[in-house]
């Protein structure tokens, strides 16, 4: 019975018994010789004798070609074997990786792509340099040589060689700088010019003050009076900045002139009193003070200038400079100490008690004229407020004024380093401190 439960048939059992009968005798090896010739004869007998060829086609049969069988006793013809270890022959004119049977083609070899071109070296940007106008440079060097002498009790009074500042409000850009003169740098004297830039208030009611004070060389003071002038006028404007800002935006020119005149006169009263305490002549120790008020409101283009003493304010418009500072005319007559040409009061009695002058019987100093001007700026204008050390070469050396006009007429306001180089543009014969503030109108 099989694994599936079926019962095998009788003839299947007989076949199984005949194949695996243990009592059957083993056939054993054959007695015929076992050789290649014997096997060939056995195959030939089985195949039979070769038939005779039939002459002519037989009707009903297709023509056939008789292919003779190869003699198994002869080795099959083929390519001669190659000894091991030798490379396969390659046809002439073919690349090693091309098949020998393929058509002849030009040999090709892998070529590395050329390296990418090296970009040209970018030269470093040019640094602003201090140039000069005229046929030859001034006698002094363009860079500082000696520092001012100081002591343990005078460290708070040290003044840096250079001051640089800038800002942007509304439609204008401000650049300001004060630089020690070539003569003071060579002799190791301190910078006597002073510069103040300050903003009072915020928003559209904010007010920017720029004050420039020109010191007097050799005044004998350990602390330059110009710094006091800037600080005191700055405090006075700060306390009144709200009213001043309203007057500028409302265009109240008369109120502005009288108010700023009072503030300036108070500052100069304190300077004269301090000079008297030190036993100095007020006229020899009173610096020139020039100020500029700039509203932060972008809708207001009014620029207000005021001050006393030497200095200047110039405007660059359409490539040409205009001197907005009227020439100082000496006052004459009995009322010279009280009124100016336009009837404006120049001095005020501030009830300040001053000691007598160091020189007995010396006449009181002549009254300084108060300068005031309010103008409306145009797009493209450049307003320059400068101390006397810059105002003199701007008025006396046409080459300097022309060079600054060329640099500032186009291209917008310069950066701080470039502006500093412009302010230091040297001119032979002018070696005092250079202080100036420029306003570019957009």
* Arithmetic mean of pLDDT, 399-417: 94
Interval 163-183 mean pLDDT: 96
| Cα distance between residue 267 and residue 272, in whole Å | 9
How far apart, in Å, are the Cα atoms of 19 and each of 113, 182, 197, 393? 78, 132, 126, 137
Please report the pLDDT score of residue 277 as a whole number: 85
- Please provide the average confidence, as pLDDT, over all residues in the chain: 78
* Least confident span in 224-233, 290-299, 398-407: 224-233
Cα 54 to the center of its chain, rounded Å: 107
pLDDT per residue as tens digits for the range 110-153: 678 888 888 888 888 777 778 888 778 888 888 899 999 988 98
| Distance (Å, whole) CA 29 – CA 207 | 131
Rounded mean pLDDT, 169-191: 94
Residue 67 clears pLDDT 70, i.e. is over it: no
Band of pLDDT at residue 406, cut at 50, 70 and 90: very high
Highest-pLDDT range among 2-11, 53-62, 283-292, 293-302: 293-302
What tens digit of pLDDT does each residue of 37-53 get? Answer: 777 777 777 766 666 65
Higher pLDDT among residues 359 and 401, named by residue: 401
Measured CA to CA, the distance from residue 295 to residue 199 in angstroms comes to: 9
Tell me the mean pLDDT in the region 19-32: 63
Q: Is pLDDT at 364 greater than 50 in this prediction?
A: no
DSSP 311-380: -EEEEEETTEEEE-SPPP----STTTTTB-TTS-B---------PPPSSTTPPPPPPPPEEEEEEE--TT
Q: Which of the two residues, 106 and 321, has the higher pLDDT score?
A: 321
Say what the pLDDT of residue 419 is.
96
For 347, the enclosing helix (H) or strand (E) is none
Mean per-residue pLDDT, 248-267: 95
């Amino acid at each position: 019975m099989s694994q599936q439960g079926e019962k095998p048939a009788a003839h299947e059992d007989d076949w199984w018994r005949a194949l695996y009968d243990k009592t059957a005798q083993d056939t054993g090896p054959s007695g015929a010789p076992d050789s290649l010739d014997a096997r060939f004869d056995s195959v030939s007998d089985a195949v039979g004798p070769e038939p005779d060829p039939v002459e002519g086609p037989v009707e009903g049969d297709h023509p056939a070609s008789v292919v003779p069988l190869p003699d198994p006793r002869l080795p099959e013809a083929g390519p001669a074997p190659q000894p091991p270890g030798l490379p396969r022959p390659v046809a002439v004119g073919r690349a090693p990786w091309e098949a020998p049977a393929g058509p002849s083609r030009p040999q090709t070899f892998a070529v590395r792509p050329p390296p990418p071109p090296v970009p040209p070296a970018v030269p470093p940007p040019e640094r602003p340099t201090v140039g000069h106008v005229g046929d030859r440079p001034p006698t002094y060097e363009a860079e500082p040589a000696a520092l001012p002498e100081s002591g343990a009790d005078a460290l708070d009074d040290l003044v840096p060689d250079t001051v640089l500042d800038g800002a942007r409000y509304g439609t204008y850009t401000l650049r300001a700088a004060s630089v020690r003169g070539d003569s003071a740098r060579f002799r190791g004297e301190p910078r006597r010019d002073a510069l103040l830039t300050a903003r009072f208030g915020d928003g559209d009611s904010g007010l920017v003050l720029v004050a420039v004070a020109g010191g007097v060389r050799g005044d004998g003071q350990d602390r330059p009076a110009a710094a006091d002038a800037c600080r005191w006028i700055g405090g006075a404007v700060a306390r009144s900045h709200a009213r001043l800002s309203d007057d500028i935006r409302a265009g109240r020119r008369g109120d502005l002139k009288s108010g700023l005149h009072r503030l300036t006169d108070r500052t100069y009263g304190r300077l004269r009193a301090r000079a008297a305490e030190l036993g100095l002549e007020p006229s020899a120790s009173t610096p020139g003070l020039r100020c500029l008020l700039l509203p932060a409101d972008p809708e207001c283009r009014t620029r207000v200038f005021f001050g006393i003493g030497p200095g200047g304010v110039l405007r660059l418009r359409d490539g040409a400079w205009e001197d907005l500072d009227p020439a100082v005319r000496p006052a004459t007559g009995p009322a010279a100490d009280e009124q100016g040409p336009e009837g404006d009061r120049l001095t005020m009695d501030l009830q300040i008690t001053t000691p007598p002058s160091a020189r007995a019987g010396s006449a009181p100093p002549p009254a300084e004229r108060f300068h005031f001007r309010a103008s409306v700026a145009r797009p493209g204008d450049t307003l320059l407020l400068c101390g006397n050390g810059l105002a003199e070469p701007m008025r006396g050396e046409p080459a300097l004024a022309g060079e600054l006009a060329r640099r500032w007429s186009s291209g917008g306001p310069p950066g701080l380093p470039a502006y500093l180089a412009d302010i230091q543009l040297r001119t032979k014969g002018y070696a005092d401190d250079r202080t100036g503030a420029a306003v570019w109108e957009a």
